[in-house]
Amino acid sequence: MPTLKVDQEKCIGCGLCASMCAEVFEMTDDLKARVKDASKCESESCDCKSVAESCPVDAITYQE
For the range 46-54, what are the long-range contacts, defined as Cβ-Cβ under 8 Å and sequence gap of 24 or more? 46/20, 46/21, 47/21, 48/2, 48/4, 48/21, 48/24, 50/20, 51/16, 51/17, 51/20, 51/21, 51/24, 51/25, 52/4, 54/16, 54/17, 54/20
Nearer to ligand F3S, 14 or 22 (CB): 14
Among positions 4, 24, 60, 62, the unique one binding ligand F3S when judged by CB under 6 A: 60
Q: Does 46 bind ligand F3S (CB under 6 A)?
A: no
Q: Does 41 bind ligand F3S (CB under 6 A)?
A: no
Q: Does 21 bind ligand F3S (CB under 6 A)?
A: no
